[in-house]
Amino acid sequence: MKLCILDCSFAMSWVFADEANSLADALLNRLRERDSVVVPAVLWGLEVSNVLQAACRKKRMTRIQAEEKRRFMAELPVVEVIPPHGLAEAIFDLSTNHHLTSYDAAYLTLAIEEKLPLATKDGALSNAARDSGVALWGASATL
């Protein structure tokens, strides 16, 4: 079952203890039950890797801890979705209209295209999702 589009900010709730929250825990429990989550291929993995590397540079975690978290993320049951080539204009429009980064606009574009809720902790992306008619994970009966 496809549950939602997952962005990196939401997934980091499973990496950093000070970012943990019950909504993220509920999604992780669903994953452990072998449901699936939809994430953009390449983009999500690159963003997760970047956050883990930055955490090491800032001494928030060791390289060994970062590698453990990276492996944990790689083992999540996901259905990777590559944004179709024809979505470049939609991504550009959403990023411009809502002042989003291109990668956040890609998450939103996928949520729109896949007709799935978006799991994010990013305020600007949450606002853009609501403005675009995209439900947020946990804001409806998706749990």
- Please report whether residue 21 resides in a domain: yes
Contact 140, 115 (CB under 8 A): no
Q: How confident is the model over 11-38, as a mean pLDDT? A: 91
- Please report whether residue 139 resides in a domain: no
- Please report whether residue 38 resides in a domain: yes
Which pLDDT score is estimated for 141? Answer: 47
> How many domains, in total, are found in the chain?
1
- Please report whether residue 136 resides in a domain: no
Which pLDDT score is estimated for 61? Answer: 97
Which pLDDT score is estimated for 83? Answer: 74
Contact 43, 106 (CB under 8 A): yes
For every residue of 62-87, which 3-state class applies, written as one string?
CHHHHHHHHHHHHCCCEEEECCCHHH
Cβ partners under 8 Å of residue 41, min gap 6: 80, 81, 82
Burial profile 110-121: b = 16 or more Cβ within 10 angstroms, e = fewer: bbbebebbbbbb
Q: Of the candidates 106, 123, 136, 133, which has an alpha carbon nearest to the alpha carbon of residue 39?
A: 106
Domain that includes residue 90, residue range? 2-131
Q: Of the candidates 91, 98, 111, 92, which has an alpha carbon nearest to the alpha carbon of residue 39?
A: 111
- Please report whether residue 87 resides in a domain: yes
pLDDT band for position 79 (cuts 50, 70, 90): confident
Which pLDDT score is estimated for 38? Answer: 83
**Each residue's pLDDT tens digit, 105-142:** 999 999 999 999 999 999 999 999 999 999 999 876 45
The alpha-carbon radius of gyration of the chain (Å, integer) is 15
Q: How confident is the model over 72-94, as a mean pLDDT? A: 86
**Each residue's pLDDT tens digit, 27-74:** 999 898 887 888 887 788 899 999 999 999 999 999 999 999 999 998
- Exposed (0-12), middle (13-18) or buried (19+): which is 42, by Cβ within 10 Å? exposed
